[in-house]
Amino acid sequence: GLYRSEFLFLDKDLPTEESQLCQYKKVIDFFNPYPVTIRTLDYGGDKIHEFMKTHREMNPFLGCRSIRFSLKNQGIFKTQLRAILRASAFGNVKMMFPMISTVEELLQARDITSEMMHELDTSGIPYDKNIEIGIMIEVPSAVIAGDILAEYVDFFSVGTNDLVQYILAVDRVNEKVADLYNPLDISVLRYLRTISEIASSHSKPISICGEIAGEPKFTMMLLGLGFRQLSMSSKNMYQVKRIIRSVNIQECESLSRSLLQMKRSDEIEKAVIENMYQKFPEILI
């Protein structure tokens, strides 16, 4: 799963290291011994918070959002990193940076993390020294440079909500272009296949999140494209799990192979729906 840390930042006052630690601990305790993947602050885009209400941009999704915001506001970032690292002493914690679009961003985020680890070491504060650090793949550049990024991460998580928006240059919250926001465009399928192959060839675990990961009609296609970890809200789990338990990988791979041969998204959509009706007519789509 994915722990979106943004909701800790909804108030006018920024959360302190102690208050963040307390929140992270609650979740970690609840899920122990299962892992909790905490995503560092994904501020910006459609997520405008009270503490930065005056911060407005012409193109917010292309602006100072997500990891870019954290790297430019290092006080906020460092406080959060310390809280996550400290929380890692209490359970199975992984940490993930959102919207990495260049190798430099990742290296900078990692350097700051090492700096915080050093601070904790110096003060004798415990944390998991082997904490796994991953990145979200949400920008086409991260797919294309995925083999290089793979050298510096423990895992990938594909954020399809953003990835689709950036591949197709369609604002994900603009109703006027909602019809163009299409996860079944052939370009999206190709990007998903590419990143899944890169992860596999570099032996990096990869998960997929965003709306499509929890939509039953996409499940077989995603399995066929090589994804084995799907992150979704609990309301979707029952149906998706049912599908996963009733299919075999060969039929999923054959479906995704045939979809990748198609050109038009309406063709792809039709094939996906027909497959669904054939195999799972009872699951409403």
CB of 233: closest distance to ligand PEP in angstroms?
A: 11
Residue type, position 255, single letter: L
CB nearer to ligand PEP: pick between 77 and 280: 77
Binders of ligand PEP among 22-81, rule CB under 6 A?
Answer: 42
**Within 90-149, which residues bind Mg ion (CB under 5 A)?**
138
Ordered strands of the 229-230 beta sheet = 3-4, 36-39, 93-97, 132-137, 155-159, 206-209, 229-230
How far is 235 from 237, CA to CA, in rounded Å? 6
**Does residue 159 bind ligand PEP (CB under 6 A)?**
yes
Q: Which of 38, 83, 150, 209: binder of ligand PEP (CB under 6 A)?
A: 209
For the bound state, the minimum distance from the C-beta of residue 43 to ligand PEP, rounded and expressed in Å, comes to 11
Stretch that binds ligand PEP, among 142-150, 158-166, 195-203, 275-283 (CB under 6 A): 158-166
Q: Cα(133)–Cα(107) distance, rounded to whole angstroms?
A: 12
Size of the residue set binding ligand PEP (CB under 6 A): 9
Helix (H, G, I), strand (E, B) or coil at 34: coil
Tokens 């799990």 locate to 241
CB 188 within 8 A of CB 171: no
Q: Which tokens is 87 given?
A: 């929380």
* 160 near ligand PEP, judged by CB under 6 A: yes
Q: Which is nearer to ligand PEP, 4 or 190 (CB)?
A: 4
105 touching ligand PEP, by CB under 6 A: no
First to last CA, the chain: 23
Which residue's CB is nearer to ligand PEP, number 159 or number 224?
Answer: 159
Identify the residue among 102, 161, 229, 236 touching ligand PEP (CB under 6 A).
Answer: 161
219 exposed, middle or buried (CB, 10 Å; 0-12, 13-18, 19+)?
Answer: buried
Residues at the interface with ligand PEP (CB under 6 A)? 4, 42, 138, 159-162, 209-210
